[in-house]
Structures are given as C-alpha cells and as structure tokens.
Amino acid sequence: MQTDSALSADQHLPVSIEYNWQHIREQYQKDVKKHRNGDIYNIVMIILALAFGFFIAPQVIAVSEAQRSMNERTENQLYYTNHITVSGDDSIFKDNDLENTIQAATWIMLLVSVASGVSLLLLFYNSKKSRLDKGNYVYLERSDFKPIWQFIDEALLKMELDHYNVQLCYFKTNALEAHVSVKDETITLYLSRGLINLFSTNVLYFKSILFHELGHVLQKDKKLLQISNRIFWFPAILFVIAFLISAFNGNFFKSYVGMFGIIFLSFSRLFLKRRNAEMLADTAALAYLENTSIKDVIQKIFTPKISIWYPTQQERLLNIEGRLAKNKLVSTDAE
C-alpha cells in the first residue's frame, strides 16, 4: 500500500521564484517615453481652457441670451383678446425687454467671470501650497547622513540621472513623507525625520520610497500636471453652461461641439496621466531596486489618498502584481 511518504520526489523540491528585472526595467523605460509625450499640448490646452472660461464663455452667454430675447420679441406679437394686432408703437416694450436682457446677461457674465477667476486663484494657491515653508526644513551637507547620500548617488547613477545636482533637505515631522522638486539641473529631495529614521529600521522600505520619488524625476512629472486637474473642472463646467445656452438658441452649435470634444479629451488626458504617474513611479521602485518591498510600503507605510486624481491602493498593487506576473521566472532546485 502506498503511504504519504511515498509521494513523488518532485513534490518535495523547493520552488524559487525570481523575476526578470531587466525586462521590467526596459518596459518601464518604454512606458516613460509614452508618458512624457504631449506635455506641451497639455499645458497649452490648460491655458486655452482657462482663457475660454475667463474671457469667451461670459461673452457667448451674454450674446446668446440677448439673441434668445430678440427671437422671442420677433416671434411673439401682442394681440387684444379680439385678436386685433397692435399696430402702434411698441418700442417701450422692446426697450424695457432689451434692458432686462442686458441686465441679466451682465449678471451672468459677472458670475461666470468670478468663477473663472476663482479657478485661476486656485491654480496659484495650489502652486504655493505645494511648496514647503522654508522655516520647516534645513539643507543637509554631504557630511550628514553619509549612507543616505551614498545610496542617492547610486540610485541616480542607476537611473541615469547622475547629471543632476542634488540637494537634500530634512524637515521636522515624524510622519513618513518624501517630496521631490526639479529646477534647472538640480533635484531637491525633501525627507521627513520619520523617513530618515526608517533608513536605520528598514532600509528596503526607505530605498523603495526614494526610487519612487526619483521615478517622478525620470518621468518628468511637472507640478503643473499635479495641480492643473484640480482646477480643470471650472472651465469645463463653464463651457458646458455656455454650450447648452448656445445649443438651445441655435448659435455656434458645430463650433461648440468641436470645442467641447477638445476640452473633454484634454481633461481626460490630464486625468489619466496624473493617475498613471503614480503607478509608473511605483514601477520605478520595483524595477530599479529589484525588490518587491514597494508592495509593503503601499500596504503598510502610507495612508491611501482618497481622491479621484490618485489611483487607489488596490489599483497600485494590481499594477505591481501585473508586472511581476508577466516577468516571473520559476525554477525548482533539487536538495
């Protein structure tokens, strides 16, 4: 009789799983090239959309409203109850009607302009808010935290970013935070006290986070990309209002359909690019560290951002799992 101990030897062989890191890195680099495309186009469309909301939409709304009122006056004649047409001078009615129309259109223009102005203010506010207060951080010299500097140099070399100058800043918070900015040929890395402490407690987690931030540099993710989508709703909504008014009045319909398509596609492009930027940066940590610790960082270290502009924790993990599954190398080793 066959016992449990008589199982085939193959079932006792240890299985080791490795990944084709070189291929993951090559695929990431191809994705980065696609990701970079269209930056100028996106910026131009943001400016045009804001300009549309601030200058064009109010004018179109006013003209369309005045046109609607004039059409009503032309189509509707005044009658007595015995259907005798008023043939006298009705200019007083027209003057009052036109005055009311102009007043209503003026208010619409004012409200739309204010809303558009708010969108511009939000652009500058978010830009300023995204900068750290200089009083909250200090620059670190290369004599400070030498192991961290050594790793940064190695990471830059591996990612072919070693032509950049690097500034390292330390800001005083126990939270695990990291930020990166690029100006001219200088990368500035902002590391929190909590993150620097992580270097001594879990160096793989620390390196994963740094590779993620440097991934944003490699991807050339502009700060404008990160904040523009927050204010893009305003011109888009204003456009829809102007489009609907124009459509009901039969004015500029074809032109508005085309413009609506352009703005919608631009908004969708920005929306998808912003979300893709985070998942690509996760892939950078995966590919260049050649380790799956970025998965633990996403699950255990950082609190997921609840925002439509960011991929969910599950989406980020699925992205990593998908890339690993496509590049899995399985082998069995005899003992």
pLDDT 10s digits, 156-187: 999 999 999 999 998 888 788 888 988 888 99
CA atoms within 13 A on the CB side of 8: 2
What angle is formed at CA 214 by the lines to CA 212 and CA 215, rounded to 5 degrees?
Answer: 60
Segment 62-71 mean pLDDT = 63
- What radius of gyration, in Å, describes the C-alpha atoms of the chain? 30
Q: Which of 75-89, 181-195, 225-239 has the lowest mean pLDDT?
A: 75-89
The pLDDT score that the predictor gives to residue 107 is: 58
Q: Which residues of 112-145 are buried (b: 16+ CB within 10 A; e: fewer)?
A: bbebbeebeebbeebeeeeeeeeeebeebeeeeb
Segment 304-332 mean pLDDT = 84
- Residue 1 corresponds to which tokens in the numbers above? 């009789």
Q: Where are the domains of the chain?
A: 17-73+91-130+222-332, 134-202
Q: Are the C-beta atoms of 122 and 231 separated by less than 8 Å?
A: yes
Closest Cα partner for 148 from 191, 181, 103? 191
Please give the DSSP secondary-structure letter assigned to residue 130. Answer: T
Average pLDDT of the chain is 73
The pLDDT score that the predictor gives to residue 172 is: 81
Q: Are the C-beta atoms of 220 and 39 separated by less than 8 Å?
A: yes
The pLDDT score that the predictor gives to residue 317 is: 94
d(CA 334, CA 12): 9
Helix (H) or strand (E) holding 171: strand 165-171
Report helix, strand or coil for 24.
helix
Comparison of pLDDT for 60 and 220, the residue scoring more: 220
Segment 320-328 mean pLDDT = 94
**Residue 37, pLDDT above cutoff 60:** yes
Q: Are the C-beta atoms of 273 and 42 separated by less than 8 Å?
A: yes
